[in-house]
Amino acid sequence: MTESAPAQKRQLVRGIGIFGSAFLVLNGMIGAGIFAMPSAVAARAGVLSPWLFLAVGVLIITVVLTFAELSSYFRISGGPVLYATRAFGSLTGFSTGWIYYVSRAAAVAANCNVMAIYMATIWPWFGVDPGRAVVILVVCGGLTLVNVLGVRDGVRTLAVFTFFKVIPLLIMIVLGLQYVSPDVLFPDNMPTIDDLGGTTLLLIYAFVGFETVLITAGETAKPKVTIPKALILTMIATGILYFLIVLVYVSVLGGQVDENATLVDVGRKLAGPVGAIAITLAAIFSIGGNLAGTMLSTPRLTFALAEHRLLPPWFGRIHEKFSTPANSVIFMGSTAAALALSGSFVRLAIASSLTRMITYIVCIAALPVIKGKADYATIARAFKIPGGYPIPFVAFVLCLWLASHSSAESWQLVGIMLVVGLALYWLEQLRIKKQHAV
């Protein structure tokens, strides 16, 4: 897998700029999690929750910096599969990419169902079939159509979702800061956290997803500069946003926090029913933005796999009129809709964090190999991590530690997913051998 990917250079349109890349990073991270997670974290960490979010954000930025340098070596699509293939060969690259792809498809399925749940707070019909099925089909079908029509349409959709989900959160923060007291900001009695590893793994879910921007490098303007900048700046902004959201959450609800409390309860206390509706709509747009970002980026992964003959060529076909990987987009939308409607996505969603950690571990390990293979001119132009390899080492250890806290069921599910993917991989390799034999 090299820079000379002719189909991508010839046909894919580089229509994603710095703002589009930032939208991808932002919507990849901010989805359904932040609207439900504060209660679970507060139950474990109490008033330390805002600081724990900030600490995890500082830790995860070591992973982000590593990916920022990796991205600066390439101009083509692929992300994790590109890095793993370039460093360790096609089999490792495919395995990494496939695990990540299935995880993202399951996440879309899960978030479609969460979207229906939030919409049911406005109209209960959406919370049960056939209303739930209507939400799933409309969301998956609509996002599939938008992304087949063109990458710029996909970015514009992201911009709309980003605006309508961030503004209510910012208003909530401004209104809620008046409740913040020195005792909450700097507590005298520090609560103990019994399961630090499990709590951190839970928090990591709020920060993963930034890697979606890497998969669209082949459609990004000046990707070697744009992507590292978007990754770092957006991660810092998101970490600060999370800190303020959770600070307001524990300050406003105080001792009333329970396992079922959400940001909707904060909105209701700050502005009554209007506040509750505003946060509910923000949650819907947040989930929608996350879905839009995933539907824009993840189909490019199967496209990249097909481009490098790791999946059947059907996935690598580009639409003659719209210059988009239409087949991969349609496959992603159909798979996500089927998973969401069947409900079989639940077990895949449980293993989502583990599959991300595996992907991160492989990509972090790929950095020194890729750097060693690059020529002097490429190395000179690449983004460089401050301090060199200590930061990637910390990122590697962090991901290993988090993966070790995953359940046996999650590991079993990853194994099943990998077997299915490898079966498709070997079928494609057999097809190639038959072609050569002829």
pLDDT of 7-61, one tens digit each? 444 455 565 767 677 767 777 777 766 776 777 777 777 778 888 888 888 888 8
Q: Does residue 344 sit in helix, strand or coil? A: coil
What integer pLDDT is reported at residue 367 of this predicted model?
Answer: 92
Of 348, 331, 298, residue with least CA distance to 424: 331
Contacts made by residues 129-138, CB under 8 angstroms, sequence distance 24+: 133/341, 136/112, 136/337, 136/340, 136/341, 137/337, 137/341
In this model, does residue 434 exceed pLDDT 50? yes
What integer pLDDT is reported at residue 9 of this predicted model?
Answer: 43
For 397, the token pair is 């250890």
* Cβ pair 265, 278 in contact under 8 A: no
Percent of the residues in the chain that have a pLDDT greater than 70, as a whole number:
84
Which amino acid, one-letter code, is at 108?
Answer: V
In this model, does residue 352 exceed pLDDT 80? no
Per-residue confidence band for 409, with pLDDT thresholds at 50, 70 and 90: confident
Number of H helices, E strands in the chain: 20, 0
pLDDT in tens, 153-180: 656 766 777 787 788 888 889 999 988 8
What integer pLDDT is reported at residue 345 of this predicted model?
Answer: 44
Which amino acid, one-letter code, is at 231?
Answer: L
In this model, does residue 1 exceed pLDDT 80? no
Per-residue confidence band for 361, with pLDDT thresholds at 50, 70 and 90: very high
* Cβ pair 207, 238 in contact under 8 A: yes
What integer pLDDT is reported at residue 298 of this predicted model?
Answer: 79
Look up tokens 């959406």; give the residue: 126
What integer pLDDT is reported at residue 7 of this predicted model?
Answer: 43
389: which DSSP letter?
Answer: T
- CB within 8 A of 9, min separation 6: which ones? 76
In this model, does residue 369 exceed pLDDT 90? yes
Which amino acid, one-letter code, is at 304?
Answer: A
77: which DSSP letter?
Answer: S
Stretch 411-432: mean pLDDT: 83
In this model, does residue 333 exceed pLDDT 50? yes
pLDDT in tens, 109-156: 877 877 887 788 778 888 778 888 898 899 888 888 887 876 666 567
What integer pLDDT is reported at residue 294 of this predicted model?
Answer: 79
What is the Cα 14 distance to its own chain's centre? 21
In this model, does residue 4 exceed pLDDT 50? no
Q: What is the mean pLDDT of the chain?
A: 79
Residue 404's Cβ-count burial label (10 Å; 0-12, 13-18, 19+) is exposed
pLDDT in tens, 83-119: 888 899 888 888 888 888 877 887 788 778 778 877 8
The better pLDDT of the pair 151, 286 is held by: 286
Percent of the residues in the chain that have a pLDDT greater than 90, as a whole number:
7
The better pLDDT of the pair 387, 437 is held by: 387
The better pLDDT of the pair 276, 12 is held by: 276
Q: Is there a cis peptide before residue 130, judged by omega within 30 degrees of 0?
A: yes
- What domains lie within the chain, and their CATH numbers? 16-186+193-437 (1.20.1740.10)
Q: What is the number of other CB atoms lying within 10 angstroms of the CB of residue 179?
A: 18
Q: Does residue 218 sit in helix, strand or coil? A: helix
What integer pLDDT is reported at residue 210 of this predicted model?
Answer: 81
